[in-house]
Chains A and B, each alone.
Chain A
Amino acid sequence: MTRFHHVFSVLCRLCALLPGAVLLFLVGFLLQQSRGRLDLQLLFGDTPPLDALIHFAPVWDGIWPACFGTFCVVALAGIVAVPLGILCGIHLSEFARGRFRTMLSFCVDLLAGMPSILMGLFGFALILFLRHTLLPDAGTCLLLSGFCMGLLVLPYMVNATYSSLSGLPHDIRLLGPSLGLNRMQTIRHILLPSAGRGILSGLVLSLGRAAEDTAVIMLTGAVANAGMPRSLLDKYEALPFYIYTTAAEYQTPEELKAGFGAALVLLILTTGLFLAAHLLHNAMERRWRQG
């Protein structure tokens, strides 16, 4: 028995090290493959960086427009998915009952299991529909991608909110009402803050997915060499799309290097987003705990 425990604990420890090892290997691999190409030129090409950042000077041969496009898609997806997802999760956990709840959560699960290419097709079909009806000029664009990406990650936000709220212990649920708080006050001041960590992990999952997915943006407005989008209704570039096309069509080793560099930049971008989400959560939690 002790022997079994020993083997088991060693196994657990090895598995715990696995994610770190994979990450290290991946970063190391990307660094090695993109060596010599990791500089400001990768981002901005021959355009002076400050001009690109401040004056939106056009950037050729750089992945800055793709970074910006991906950032916009993730931000738009967040704007769609975070409030809707949290509200829907609150409804599922706190208000919906019985058969209705089962049905709703089944729909959310179906949506969560939907391949992203279908979501891309949905966006594409939506544009076709709009063209034939209300908006003859409608075309695929940043806004459409952000919207579809928001729908893609919506179930993650819903499920994270739903499961962390409904997993709260009974005592803490009764506390608000027993003090005389009404339902909204209980949710707003007791339940949501208590479920914050679980909701945050749903947010991190969503941001990562929105930054990485290629199928949705391919069908809804991302193109190679679009440059910086001038508005939400413009075409745009995106990092995963850039990586995808580079990997498929590179002509020189230098181009492939740039593709690996872009992958690293994507990793840095998502890490930055996670960090921002954590900081936001910590600040909110501190405010809640200290008043």
Chain B
Amino acid sequence: MTPPVSINNLTVSFDGTPVLENVTFKTRPGELTVIVGRSGSGKSTLLRAVNRLNECFPGCSTTGEVQLALHDGQLDVYSATTCPEHLRARAGMVFQSPNILPVSIARNMLLPQKLVRNVTGRSAEEKMRHMLERVGLLEEVHDRLGAPAATLSGGQQQRLCLARALALEPEILLLDEPTASVDYRSARRIEELLLSLKNELPMLVVSHSLPQTQRLADRVLLIRKGRLVGEWHRGQANAEADFEKMLSTTF
């Protein structure tokens, strides 16, 4: 089986200072991969390297290889022929703090569908309802889809962001501490959704919490100061003890 994400010798620098160095790993189909590490260790940078979002910062340079297994074959992310917009449209991303557009709830869902997928009208609305349902938001907001998204709570906003990303039918999902700034209920709801998605959608999740990592992860990557210093897998011998040992110094 081809790995959904395979990263080889990835090095990312900002203004000449390396932030990630020689990171190499592969994920497996059907597994949920969680990336952990102290704040500032380079987790977000690693996620952004997968959809080439680091390039939006001036002074960033990336070397190494990132390969994604998509429906129509292998995509070499950093090849000269890869169009970043095309890549990003297929790799959904959810940020650490809810990143809503300052527009209505419905428009948050519909505008990207129109611009990225060219889906409008009924089918876009249906998709919107379906995805809001999926993140458990529909019953909370069905009667105020025209209200500003900023009136939602942080947890609801984050679920809206997740629904927005899913509505674009991504082939891989990148989540940067998706529950770091949300209430407990929303966090659990998001976790359940991720677990239910993991067989159809490869995911890289950065997590800030040990219990969450325990609940979600089939595979854990530990980053320290820009280097991959530990890798854990649910199926390995002594899994539980090793998990404790590896993460005892991280959280």
Per-residue contact bits, chain A 262-291, to B (CB 8 Å; 1 contact, 0 not): 000000000000000000000000001111
Instruction: Please give, as numbers and ranges, the residues of chain B lying within 8 Å of A178 by CB-CB distance.
Output: 51, 53, 88, 93, 95, 99
Is A177 at the interface (CB under 8 A from chain B)?
yes
Q: Is the interface of A mostly helix, strand, loop or mixed?
A: helix
* Residue from B56, B95, B97, B168 within 8 A of A180 (CB atoms): B168
Stretch at the interface among A11-19, A182-190, A248-256: A182-190
Q: Which residue of A97, A171, A190 contacts B97 across the interface (Cβ within 8 Å)?
A: A171
Segment with Cβ contacts to A, from B107-115, B190-198, B219-227? B107-115
Nearest residue (CB) in B for A97 is: B58
Chain B positions within 8 Å of A185 at CB level? 115
Mask of B146-162 contacts with A, CB within 8 angstroms, 1/0: 10100000000000000
Q: Count A/B pairs, Cβ under 8 Å.
A: 68
> At the interface, yes or no: A175 with Cβ under 8 Å from chain B?
yes
Question: Which residues of chain A are near B101, meaning CB under 8 Å?
Answer: 172, 175, 190
Question: In the docked arrangement, what's the CA distance between A177 and B84, Å?
Answer: 9
With A171-B97, A181-B115, A190-B101 already in contact, the answer to whether A291 and B90 are too (CB < 8 A) is no
Closest beta carbon of chain B to A230's beta carbon, Å: 47
Q: Which residues of A contact B112 (CB under 8 A)?
A: 179-181
With an 8 A cutoff between CB atoms, is A209 at the interface?
A: no
Contact residue range for chain A? 20 to 34
Let me know if A289 and B53 touch, CB within 8 A: no
Residues A54-92 near B (CB distance < 8 A): none
Give the contacts of B142-190 with A (CB-CB under 8 A). 146, 148, 164-165, 168
With a cutoff of 8 Å between Cβ atoms, the chain A residues found around residue B89 in the complex are 179-180
Docked pose: A249 CA to B130 CA in angstroms: 75
Q: How far is the CA of A41 from the CA of B146 in the complex (A)?
A: 50
B102 within 8 A of A: yes
Contact with A along B85-104 (1 / 0, CB 8 A): 11011100101010101111
What 1/0 mask marks residues of chain A from 154 to 196 whose CB sits below 8 Å from any chain B CB? 0000000000000000011111011111100100011000100
B34 within 8 A of A: no
Tell me whether A288 and B103 are in contact in the complex, defined as CB-CB below 8 angstroms, given that A177-B53, A178-B53 are known contacts.
yes
Interface string of B17-47 (1 = CB under 8 A from A): 0000000000000000000000000000000
Q: How far is the CA of A177 from the CA of B99 in the complex (A)?
A: 12
Cβ–Cβ < 8 Å partners of A179 in chain B: 88-89, 93, 112, 115-116, 164-165, 168
The complex places the Cα of A173 from the Cα of B110 at a distance, in Å, of: 19
Beyond A97-B58, A173-B56, whether A181 also contacts B146 by CB under 8 A is no
How far does the alpha carbon of A179 sit from the alpha carbon of B89 in the complex, in Å?
A: 6
The answer on a CB contact under 8 Å between A289 and B97 is no
Task: List A contacts of B85 (CB < 8 A).
Answer: 177, 180-182
How many angstroms between the C-alpha atoms of A175 and B115 in the bound complex? Answer: 13
Interface check B216, CB cutoff 8 A: no
Given A180-B90, A181-B115, A291 and B99 contact (CB-CB distance below 8 Å)? no
Question: Shortest 5 CB-CB distances between A and B: which pairs?
Answer: A180-B89, A178-B93, A180-B88, A289-B103, A291-B107
Query: What are 24 sample pairs from A and B whose C-beta atoms fall under 8 A apart?
Result: A173-B56, A174-B95, A174-B99, A175-B99, A177-B53, A177-B85, A179-B89, A179-B115, A179-B116, A179-B165, A179-B168, A180-B86, A180-B89, A180-B112, A180-B168, A189-B111, A189-B115, A190-B101, A289-B103, A289-B107, A289-B148, A290-B103, A290-B104, A291-B111
Q: A178-B93, A290-B146, A291-B107 are in contact. List 4 more A-B contacts (CB 8 A).
A: A174-B99, A179-B116, A289-B104, A291-B106
Interface, chain A (partner B; CB < 8 A): 97, 171-175, 177-182, 185, 189-190, 194, 288-291
